Amino acid sequence: MKDIKLIIFDLDGTLVDAYAAIEASFNYVMRKLGLKEKSAKSIRRAVGWGDLNLLKPFVLRQDLGRALSLYRKHHKHSLLKYSRLYPYVRLLLGRLQARGYKLAVATNRPTKFSLILLKHLRIFDYFDYVLCADKLKQGKPNPEILNKIIKELSFKKPQVLYVGDMVIDAEAGRRAKIDTIIVTGGSSSTIEIKKERPFKIITKLRQLMDICKP
């Protein structure tokens, strides 16, 4: 892929494994509201649409504001305790940067918590631009977040690659009309991902090094 100049990454499930942090904060909210705790599987399936949408299916409408406040208060601590990088991430980012690629993040996670993660895990400085859905009218799968990054960094779409882990990432990339690579193992199944027909599906992020050879 010699024409690629900019690589945009999703955050959760792609670069960062924060599922344990999300589960801890989610079930803290359930306990505080007197609700039954949910399984890791059911929480994982709801991840990727932002924290408000994570809670919405499980909480009464009148309790949603309090639930979100409780979640965010707990989450700024649970992220530091439980989040980790997926294998090879820091090495991958360093090598891509050394090869001259511009790097960006496009995530539905709110800005405050995205920055906590990126700085705590020591990968913030690899990125030329970080954009989160709370700065836009709509998050993924709407392509606005990808289009804005591309415009801000002054690239053309054939020069851009997007890397994510979910169906909504594949859909966002398709709607933005940019090549999209999906890494399996996140909250979407391979069958679900294949239906969106991304450019490539890989099983490990380190495979990106072979795809992005100069």
Q: What is the pLDDT of residues 181-211, one digit of tens each?
A: 999 987 788 999 999 999 999 999 999 988 8
Going from the C-alpha of 29 to that of each of 26, 51, 151, 166, the distances in angstroms are: 5, 12, 38, 25
Between 3.40.50.300, 1.10.1740.10, 1.10.150.240, 1.10.3720.10, what CATH number should domain 19-82 receive? 1.10.150.240
CATH topology of domain 6-16+85-211: Rossmann fold (3.40.50)
pLDDT digits (tens, 9 = 90+) for 60-106: 999 999 999 999 999 999 999 999 999 999 999 999 999 999 999 99
By residue count, the chain amounts to: 214
pLDDT for the residue numbered 125: 97
CA 23 from centroid of its chain's CA atoms: 16
214 confidence band (pLDDT: 50, 70, 90): low
- Bridge partner list, 102: 6
DSSP conformational letter for 11: -
Note if the pTM is more than 0.85.
yes
Given a contact cutoff of 8 angstroms between Cβ atoms, the answer to whether 132 and 140 are in contact is no
| Cα–Cα distance, 7 to 189 (Å, whole number) | 23
44 confidence band (pLDDT: 50, 70, 90): confident
